[in-house]
Structure 1
Amino acid sequence: MPLTPIVLVPGLNCTERAFVEVLPALWPFGSVTIANHRRGGTVTEIARGILAEAPERFALLGFSMGGYIAFEIFRQAPHRIERLCCLATSARPDTPEQTENRERQIALTESGKFASVAKAAFPLVVHSDNVGNERLRAIHLDMAAATGAETYVVQQKAIIARPDSRPMLAGIGCPTAVIVGETDQITGVEAAVEIANTVPGAKLTRVPGAGHLVPLEQPAAVQGALAHWMSL
């Protein structure tokens, strides 16, 4: 099998650290690049910037917010995407309730309480069994600190304004994997099932013992799903 360049797009408050433990599954298939998703004020701008630096053709993985960006990358340049992985993400736009919650988090962050926002998010992004996992908590908080309050606000606003990607799902013709933690409280299992049921031939993997931070919570299971994805 010829090698395929692979581009990974992190999520909100995430750095390359989110992927470190699943990279061994990808290295045998091609070079891996962690995209810079911190440039641009909208999903459209962020996607355009990633495409400008990406290989001519590549496999694309989007994690959480990175999935929203991945859909936009596909929308802008479908001919360049060899395969697509939707990791703990959704094709849906925000609900009014989600937007209201994001606006509260933005207001708290702009008032100097970003550290508190990041701490409060941790129990929501992991499986209930992992709420007391201090290693995972430290990774989560370290990634948030590295991302910073200013980027957090910009990205939350970009997420609020993102388009509905559901109309494009049936037109995705490349090999597609959908991976979700069994108790994902952020983007949700329902949204993952919707993607898998609409993209022709998509493969859905539900990961036990994981919430939204599935590549950090259950890296071995995610490695297996990624290796299968790259073999499709």
Structure 2
Amino acid sequence: MSVSDPRQPLWLLPGFLCDDDLWRDQLTGLADIAACTVADLGHGDSIAALAQQVLDAAPPRFALAGFSFGGYVAQEIARQAPQRIAWLALLDTSFHADTPERIAQRRAANRSVSLPGEFRGMTERLLPSFIAAERLHDTALAQRINAMTLRQGREVFIRQNAMRREDGAAALRALTCPALVLCGRQDVLTPPALHQSMAALMPQARLVVVEDSGHMSPMEQPAAVTRALREWLAA
């Protein structure tokens, strides 16, 4: 963003194995009011390191939206430098720390994906956990999601999956900036009840539940997500 650009700087943090294409429609739909940058979260050895990378590249004050894995990075930014966040949006994510069981599952997944063979990305077997049932017939959407995960690849899978997710409750309670908490109605990975609990940590937060959407709300229901982000930035 140039000095004369009146638009709000907005950093968009993608999810696990996601890239710029996650935010494709939001980049277009917010271009008139926000100078958007999609962070590369594929390089780093911890969520704290990824948060520092964003802080090193971002302006002194900026709007921040984190989706899924990116939501944990956003909460780490809130922990490290809350004064730099002008607006915060958390989409289809969680604020809970990894349990021992979840850590064991992640380690098992990394062992499995490290075995010889082709990295297959988002397979048809996994897709029902990520998008709403009524969208499973959407071939174009499935291909976009799979292509995105294949671009990120095996190394990013292992790297991001090994990063421990920390509890974000204290960092969220300390924030006073305008906040948006959003998820798909059919999100089975991070369901609406979890987002209600997250929004309750921030009295100023607006909770939005997007109908006819699973976990991948920015891609499943782009117009609804863009509309919610526009209203959030206008707060």
More helix by share: 1
Indicate if the aligned counterparts of 2:94 and 2:198 stay in contact, CA closer than 8 A.
Answer: yes
- TM-score in terms of structure 2 length: 0.92
Read off the aligned partner of 1:25 and give its amino acid letter: G
- Residue 170 of structure 1 corresponds to 173
Q: Partner letter of residue 143 of structure 1?
A: M
Q: Which of residues 216, 228, 234 is equivalent to 1:231? A: 234
User: What secondary structure, in the 3-state scheme, does the structure 2 residue paired with 1:24 have?
Assistant: helix
Report SS of the residue matched to 2:183. Answer: strand
In structure 1, the gaps of 5 or more residues are none
Does the 8 Å contact 1:24/1:223 carry over to 2? no
Q: Is 1:197–2:200 an aligned residue pair?
A: yes
Q: Within 2, Cα distance between the matches of 1:30 and 1:140?
A: 25
- Relative distance call for 1:174 and 1:114 in structure 2 (3 A) is farther
List per-residue Cα deviations over 1:88-112 (Å, max 9, x = no partner): 1111112344333322321221013
Q: Distance in 2 between matches of 1:111 and 1:66?
A: 27
Counterparts in 2 of 1:66 and 1:113: CA distance versus 1, 3 Å: farther
Note the C-alpha offset of 1:54.
Answer: 0.8
| 1:47 positional shift | 0.6
Q: Match for 2:93 among 71, 89, 96?
A: 89
Fraction of identical pairs, as percent: 33
Deviations 1:152-180 (A, max 9, x none): 1010011xx12111122221110000110
Q: In the aligned structure 1, how far is the partner of 2:146 from the partner of 2:40?
A: 19
Structure 1 segments of 4+ aligned residues over 6 angstroms from their partners: none
The equivalent residue for 2:41 is 37
TM-aligned CA distance change 1:125 to 1:114, over 3 Å: farther
Matched, 1:138 2:128: no
Contact preservation (8 Å) 2:119, 2:153: no
Partner SS, residue 210 of structure 1 = coil
Counterparts of 1:37 and 1:181 in 2: how far apart (Å)?
Answer: 23
Give the aligned partner of residue 80 of structure 2.
Answer: 76
The structure-2 alpha-carbon separation of the partners of 1:207 and 1:112, relative to structure 1 and needing over 3 Å to count, comes to farther
Question: SS at 2:52's partner residue?
Answer: helix
Aligned length: 229
Q: Specify the code of the residue in structure 2 equivalent to 1:12.
A: F
**Is the Cα–Cα contact under 8 Å of residues 87 and 179 in structure 2 kept in the other structure?**
yes
CA distance in 1, matches of 2:190, 2:103: 13
What's 2:131 paired with? 126
Task: Choose which of 92, 108, 126 in structure 2 pairs with 1:104.
Answer: 108
Q: Is the 8 A contact 1:108 1:114 kept in 2?
A: no
Change (3 A) 1:188 1:64: same
